Structure 1
Amino acid sequence: MPLTLKAQKPKDYSETPLTLGEHLKKRRRELGLLQREAGERMGVSAETVANWEKGNTMPPPSQFKPVIDFLGYDPMPAPQTLAERLKAKRRALGVTFSQVARYLGWDAGTLTRYLDGTWRIPAARARALEEFLGTDATATLPQPLQDPGR
């Protein structure tokens, strides 16, 4: 009787994912889910999951929270700057930049100028931003290039 040896089938995903798509595919495979089933958990179609996994598209802000919930973690690198921390918070909440500005009662352009260091953020607004972020936002503020007198 001939002996038949079979090689272990290689995994079709990266053990050390770099892109969001790689993170999604790895998690889905670990859970033994089809793209359709993963999509149901995140509230999207199988085609959407396939496009995210392939890197063809990225989730809109409204889908960041379900994606993070599915993965069990935020796959993006740890934020260092105030702008990166705000972006991470937006991903976790599934909101847009404009929605954050409106929530804070600020113009989106004003928030942009605070984040890029064009304007110095006043103490009262820094406290509001700290409260939104849940952290000390003033610690990573860039140095202002000009002060609009606000």
Structure 2
Amino acid sequence: MWWERDEHAPTVCQYPAIIRYLGYEPWPEPATLGDRLLIERRRRGLSIAEAARGVPVDEGTWRRWERGDWKVTRRTVGKLATFLGCSPGN
């Protein structure tokens, strides 16, 4: 209930249940790759460490991608596309 009053944000593992309850995702459409990564990670209820292991990359790399501090390299673009469920270049 605290997140409903904007006193605390929900933990990432709670997002899948929140989405199911609401029937929609409570955030705007992603505008950047970092936004897409953050939204997909929340949709799956994954921590940064869990998402990074799935690609696999370092947690710091994942965090910088989400913030838009680093660009994706050719070596990792295919792995991220798989994570996001799209083809490379989309």
TM range (shorter): 0.7 to 0.9
Match of 1:133 among 70, 81, 84: 84
Identity of aligned residues (%): 31
> TM-score, normalization: structure 1?
0.53
Higher relative contact order (CA 8 A, sep 6+): 2
Gaps of 5+ in 1: 1-48, 140-150
Match of 2:73 among 104, 121, 125: 121
Task: State the shift of 1:136 in Å.
Answer: 4.3
8 Å CA contact 1:86, 1:133 repeated in 2: yes
Q: Provide the residue aligned with 1:33 in structure 2.
A: none
3-state SS of the aligned residue for 1:73? coil
One-letter identity of the residue aligned with 1:98: A
Match of 2:31 among 80, 87, 94: 80
Counterparts of 1:35-114 in structure 2, within 5 Å, are 49=1, 51-114=2-65
One-letter identity of the residue aligned with 1:88: I
- Work out the number of aligned pairs and report it: 89
C-alpha RMSD of matched pairs (Å): 1.9
Q: After TM superposition, what 4+ stretches of structure 1 lie above 3 angstroms from structure 2?
A: 112-115, 117-120, 136-139
One-letter identity of the residue aligned with 2:3: W
Q: Distance in 2 between matches of 1:101 and 1:107?
A: 6
> TM-score, normalization: structure 2?
0.84
Q: 1:85 to 1:119 in 2, by over 3 A?
A: closer
Q: Distance in 2 between matches of 1:91 and 1:112?
A: 13
Gaps of 5+ in 2: none
Q: Distance in 2 between matches of 1:102 and 1:82?
A: 18
8 Å CA contact 1:64, 1:91 repeated in 2: yes
